[in-house]
Amino acid sequence: MQSNQSKWILLLLCVITVLVTVPLPHRFSYVYNEHGRLASGLIHLKTGDYSTFHVNPPLADMMGSLPAFCAGTYCPTTADLGFSHFGRMEYKAGDVWIKKNTDHFYWMVCGRYCMIVFVLLGTVICYVWTKEVSGNFSAVIAAILWIFCPYILGHGCLICPDVPSAAVGIAAFYFFHRWLKHPEMLEAFITGLILGLAELTKFTLLIFYPLFIVLWFLYRKPDFKQSKQIFVLFATSLLVINMGYLFEGTGKLLGSYRFQTTLFTGYKTLADIPTGGGNRFENTLLGYVPVPLPSNFVQGIDTQRLDFERGLPSYLRGEWSDHGWRYYYLYALLVKTPLGTIGLFLLAIFCTLFQKSCNISWRDEMVILLPGIVLLVFVSSQTGFSVHSRYIIPALPFFFIWISKVGKAFTMKRPVIATMASILLAWSILSSLSIYPHSLSYFNELAAIIPTTEDKNYPKPLPEISETAWQRKTFCQKAQYLFSAGPRNGARHLLDSNIDWGQDLFYLEKWYQKHPEAKNIKVAYWGSYPLNLTKIPSNEMPPANNPQPGWYALSVNYIYNREKQYRYFLNFEPITTAGYSIYIYHITEDDINKLQRKSESGLTKIETTTPY
């Protein structure tokens, strides 16, 4: 293909990216604490105070809050929030922002549109980098895998750092790869700028610094000239980080910080740490070293670390635990990645081993694949809790670019491999789009097959379709039903942001407006959008551990929660769902009598205890 053709293809891919992302921002209610992120970003921009939500770097929050800032919406103040040295103030900031701005959702939507910039950046980098190493056919595959990845479609328009960190992170490695091939001072400076921006999206990407050093030594023989350039690269990135925080607290002595984790305090257990925190470097030589980072950047690392040290309730395949699992993210990839993409990954392994013409140089392949592996291993090693598989999103574009090597089969005239790649890519796209726009709740077909603990205790959450109803469906309806079997069973495998992050409240509201017979519905909604701001009048929760006749709507996070007070709803068939995260029930006296008879005969059970 000619250069002009490549530009037109990239433009077409960007247009496709816009077409699939622009319809999304206004469709969904706030995901958990999204309003807190916007409010925190607003505080950052207006006051230069980064303490409100220092558990994450501020770039994504500030990007999402930019329209609200330019419009002069009410910004939460210290008087609204109070002060807490170690407290998490973003939750209260979000509530205040909603209360003070009646048009809050409009500005949330505008902020979500700003986040699409990161999705477009990911499309461009996936295409451009892959084109340089593997050619145009591979570049198209890499970009398509990014565009139609359920993780990207589900999280890309949200004010959340995961997709921004993936996009800017892959951009940092693209420019680093360019520097490795042609080590010049300008390339080092540009790479440092992008690396600094990447570090302003997510603390996980701090692992890029040692990774850059390792890849530099493995890729080429270091010399003094390159050493100066790598110093400029890192120094530039540190400058960008400090500029992102307006140099807030830069140069503060290490010994003057107050930490709350065993890692940074030196105490053996969290219970031993004093209320005011501690510092293992205090009264040591290192304590007098000025830290070349903003103070809230350093405090944020400590605050984030605290969650992993104290642990959080974690759920996997029907089992609850006080800690996480090392294989959690691999399992999440197994059930939340389209099977077509998994097939392409296996095909890429085959090509690596048996089709040498599809490979690139081992050094270039190492720069592409190793970061993805390191990121996956790193997040898997943090077993304090396993709640959000979205933490692996920054690793995905590296795997997409590596997988796309199968596209070389088109130019190398390998018709069998090319045909298989085409079929698998089409399968991946169709599977992803089958539940669009509910991509956040995506699970592949394996989720309907792999057994879980809940399968032993309760029937499937949604009934199988009858043969008569199946015959009446069109081909497209049948395909959509088959592909949606995954998300219909997804809550049995993973919860929280994997399926139910509070995004489907507006779909419940639309259903409610069309069904006046459900006027007394009781709702257990898990999310940040205030239920009283919708047209659903319910402010009463469903009865716990006690089936009663009536209309109910429950988020799956409540149905499968650890306390199990709503687990009995799994014995009933929901009449429909709002998205794939809220089940709607109409329970009658007859339904309750049937359940009671089954319970007495031992065919099912009703939870009556709260073990947690």
Structure tokens at 117: 């910039």
Higher pLDDT, 461 or 196: 196
From the number of C-beta atoms within 10 Å of its C-beta (0-12, 13-18, 19+), residue 318 rates as middle
Asked whether residue 460 carries a pLDDT value surpassing 70, the answer given is: no
The string over 583-593, giving b where at least 16 C-beta atoms fall within 10 Å of a residue's C-beta and e elsewhere, is: bbbbbeeebbe
- Report d(CA 296, CA 300) in Å as an integer: 6
DSSP calls for 444-492:
-GGGGTS--THHHHS--SSPPPPHHHHHHS-HHHHHHHHHTHHHHTGGG
Q: Which of 551, 547, 597 is nearest to 570 (CA)?
A: 547
Average of per-residue pLDDT across 401-413: 92
Helix (H) or strand (E) run with residue 343 in it: helix 339-354
Q: How far is CA 374 from CA 212, 378, 379, in A?
A: 12, 6, 9
Give residue-wise pLDDT tens across range 358-390.
Answer: 888 999 999 999 999 999 999 999 999 999 999
Q: What percentage of residues in the chain have a pLDDT greater than 70?
A: 93
- Rounded (10°) angle between helices 104-134 and 136-147: 160
Q: What is the pLDDT of residue 3?
A: 72
Average of per-residue pLDDT across 34-59: 94
Rg (CA), the chain: 25
Give residue-wise pLDDT tens across range 298-310.
Answer: 999 999 999 999 9
Give residue-wise pLDDT tens across range 523-563.
Answer: 999 999 999 999 998 778 999 998 999 999 999 999 999 99
The string over 402-421, giving b where at least 16 C-beta atoms fall within 10 Å of a residue's C-beta and e elsewhere, is: bbbbbbbbbbeebeebbebb
Give residue-wise pLDDT tens across range 257-286.
Answer: 999 999 999 999 999 999 889 999 999 999
Structure tokens at 253: 């002595």
- Report d(CA 129, CA 368) in Å as an integer: 9
Q: What is the pLDDT confidence band of residue 474, given thresholds at 50, 70 and 90? A: confident
Helix (H) or strand (E) run with residue 524 in it: strand 522-524
β-bridge partners, 578: 582
CA angle (383, 389, 391) in 5-degree steps: 80
- Report d(CA 124, CA 114) in Å as an integer: 17
The string over 128-166, giving b where at least 16 C-beta atoms fall within 10 Å of a residue's C-beta and e elsewhere, is: bbbbebbbbbbbbbbbbbbbbbbbbbbbbbbbbbbbbbb
Average pLDDT across the chain, whole number: 92
Q: What is the pLDDT of residue 611?
A: 37
Q: What is the pLDDT confidence band of residue 609, given thresholds at 50, 70 and 90? A: very low
From the number of C-beta atoms within 10 Å of its C-beta (0-12, 13-18, 19+), residue 460 rates as middle
Q: What is the pLDDT of residue 469?
A: 66
Asked whether residue 610 carries a pLDDT value surpassing 50, the answer given is: no
Q: Which of 40, 133, 129 is nearest to 89 (CA)?
A: 40
- Report d(CA 61, CA 455) in Å as an integer: 40
DSSP annotation of 439: G
- Which residues does 152 contact at the CB level (< 8 Å), separation at least 6? 119, 122, 146, 163, 166, 393, 396
- Rounded (10°) angle between helices 162-181 and 104-134: 30
Domain ranges of the chain: 254-316, 328-447, 454-601
- Rounded (10°) angle between helices 162-181 and 185-199: 160
Q: Do the Cβ atoms of 169 and 201 come closer than 8 Å?
A: yes
Average of per-residue pLDDT across 232-236: 98
How many other β-carbons are positioned within 10 Å of the β-carbon of residue 517? 8
Q: How far is CA 425 from CA 120, 149, 189, 335, in A?
A: 20, 11, 37, 17
- Report d(CA 483, CA 351) in Å as an integer: 28
Q: What is the pLDDT of residue 507?
A: 97
Residue 298 identity: V
Q: Which of 360, 476, 439, 447 is nearest to 407 (CA)?
A: 360
- Report d(CA 386, CA 392) in Å as an integer: 12
- Report d(CA 267, CA 263) in Å as an integer: 8
Helix (H) or strand (E) run with residue 367 in it: helix 362-381
Asked whether residue 461 carries a pLDDT value surpassing 90, the answer given is: no
The string over 475-490, giving b where at least 16 C-beta atoms fall within 10 Å of a residue's C-beta and e elsewhere, is: eeeeeeeebbbbbbbb
